[in-house]
C-alpha cells in the first residue's frame, strides 16, 4: 500500500524491490555457488523480471491514474502488445499495440554509457542481485536530466501548438527557434552525446507516425521541427550535433493515443 499520489516511478521501483526475495541468484550464492556459474541464476532472474515487467508497469498505470482494476495478461499476445492490452487504453485498430511493441524494443538497447545502465552495472559488480541492480538503475532514470527528456520535448511541442492555436508555419517555427536560442534556451530533443546523425530510433518513430497519425497537429509540429531545427542549429554554430534524438518524437506518439500522463512516461 502506497499513498495515492505516489510518483509512478516510486511505485514501479517498489514493486521490483518487493520481488527481490525471489532472486534465484541470491539463494544460490548463499549456498556457495561457484563463480563460473554466477551467470546462470542471474540469467534466470533476468528472464523472470522481463516477463513480469509489463504487468507491473501496466498495474502502476491502472492503480495510479485509472483507479480501476488490473487487467489480466492475454497469453495470445506478444510482450509489447500485452503491455498495451493491460494498460486498458482504447485501441480499436490495434495501433497502440503496434506502437508499444516498437517503443519498448527501441528503448531496450542501452549499452553501459548512460546513467541508469551505468548505475545498474556498478551495483551488479558488487554481486548484488538483479532486482537491486535494476532498482538502482531506475532511481537514476527518475532524475530529470535522464528520464524526463521525452516529457520535456512533448511539453515544448504542446507549448508551440498552444501558442499558435495549432501547427505553425515553417517560418513561424523557425523564428520561434531563433528566439529561444537568443534567450539562452535549448531546443528540446536535439543533440546526442554520441551520434552525429539523426537518431535511428527517431527515424523509426517518425516512420510510424507518418503511417498512422500523419494529420495529427502535434505530430505535424514534430515533423516541421525536424525540417527546421538542424539548419537553425548549424547556423547558430554552438551545437556539435544538430540532429534529433529519440525523445524528439516519442512523446507525440504516446500523447496521440491517449497516454497523456507525463509522470508515467519514465516508467515506459
Which residues are CB-contacts of 265 (< 8 A; sequence separation ≥ 6)? 147, 148, 150, 151, 154, 251, 254, 259
For the chain, the straight-line distance linking the first and the last C-alpha, in angstroms and rounded, comes to 22
Catalytic, out of 45, 220, 247, 256? 247
Can 256 be counted among the known catalytic residues?
A: no
Catalytic, out of 192, 199, 227, 236? 192
CB atoms within 10 A of CB 90: 8
Q: Which residue has the cell 541470491?
A: 26
d(CA 253, CA 189) in angstroms, rounded, equals 14
- 174 close to 225: Cβ distance less than 8 angstroms: no
CA distances to 129, 176, 247 from 151, rounded to whole Å, are: 31, 20, 8
Catalytic, out of 146, 171, 199, 217? 146
Q: Which residue has the cell 524526463?
A: 148
d(CA 192, CA 28) in angstroms, rounded, equals 41
Can 192 be counted among the known catalytic residues?
A: yes
Can 247 be counted among the known catalytic residues?
A: yes
Among residues 142, 156, 143, which one has the least CA distance to residue 249? 156
Catalytic residues: 146, 192, 247
Amino acid at each position: 500500500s502506497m499513498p495515492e499520489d505516489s510518483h509512478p516511478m516510486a511505485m514501479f521501483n517498489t514493486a521490483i524491490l518487493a520481488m527481490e526475495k525471489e532472486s534465484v541468484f541470491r539463494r544460490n550464492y548463499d549456498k556457495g555457488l561457484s563463480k563460473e556459474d554466477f551467470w546462470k541464476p542471474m540469467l534466470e532472474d533476468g528472464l523472470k523480471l522481463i516477463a513480469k515487467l509489463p504487468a507491473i508497469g501496466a498495474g502502476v498505470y491502472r492503480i495510479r491514474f485509472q483507479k480501476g482494476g488490473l487487467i489480466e495478461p492475454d497469453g495470445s499476445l506478444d510482450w509489447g502488445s500485452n503491455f498495451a492490452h493491460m494498460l486498458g487504453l482504447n485501441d480499436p485498430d490495434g495501433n497502440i499495440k503496434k506502437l508499444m511493441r516498437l517503443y519498448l524494443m527501441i528503448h531496450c538497447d542501452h549499452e553501459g554509457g548512460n546513467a541508469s545502465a551505468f548505475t545498474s552495472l556498478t551495483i551488479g559488480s558488487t554481486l548484488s542481485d538483479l532486482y537491486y541492480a535494476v532498482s538502482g538503475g531506475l532511481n537514476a532514470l527518475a532524475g530529470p536530466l535522464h528520464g524526463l527528456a521525452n516529457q520535456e520535448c512533448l511539453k515544448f511541442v504542446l507549448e508551440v501548438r498552444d501558442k499558435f492555436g495549432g501547427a505553425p508555419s515553417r517560418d513561424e517555427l523557425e523564428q520561434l527557434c531563433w528566439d529561444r536560442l537568443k534567450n539562452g534556451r535549448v531546443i528540446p530533443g536535439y543533440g546526442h552525446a554520441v551520434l552525429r546523425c539523426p537518431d535511428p530510433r527517431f527515424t523509426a518513430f517518425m516512420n510510424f507516425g507518418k503511417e498512422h497519425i500523419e494529420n495529427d497537429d502535434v505530430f505535424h509540429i514534430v515533423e516541421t521541427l525536424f525540417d527546421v531545427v538542424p539548419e537553425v542549429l548549424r547556423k547558430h554554430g554552438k551545437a556539435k550535433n544538430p540532429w534529433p534524438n529519440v525523445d524528439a518524437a516519442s512523446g507525440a506518439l504516446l500523447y496521440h493515443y491517449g497516454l497523456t500522463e507525463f509522470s508515467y512516461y519514465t516508467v515506459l
